[in-house]
Amino acid sequence: MPFITIDVLRDDINRETKKELIRKISEVVTTVLNKDPHLTHIMINEIEDDNWGYAGEQVSVLKEQGFSTAPKK
């Protein structure tokens, strides 16, 4: 029984994106591991910017300095 945990920044994901992420990851697990999708569990943890560190700094501080976690266009 696969149990998959995904950590994301809270501001970077919405309900539709979560729905698509869960669907596509389930498809991959079904295809690659040959697992029944009814036995695959996916948990998405939304982390506040203050609780995520990158390059020695909080993401909230990095964003204040112009760092962006938005998708590149």
pLDDT digits (tens, 9 = 90+) for 58-71: 999 999 998 887 77
Domain boundaries, the chain: 3-65
User: Domain 3-65 in CATH: superfamily?
Assistant: Macrophage Migration Inhibitory Factor (3.30.429.10)
- Write down the pLDDT at residue 50: 94
Which residues are part of the catalytic machinery? Answer: 2
SS3 per residue for the chain: CCEEEEEEEHHHCCHHHHHHHHHHHHHHHHHHHCCCHHHCEEEEEEECHHHCEECCEEHHHHHHCCCCCCCCC
**pTM, 2 dp:** 0.79
pLDDT digits (tens, 9 = 90+) for 16-51: 999 999 999 999 999 999 988 899 999 999 999 999
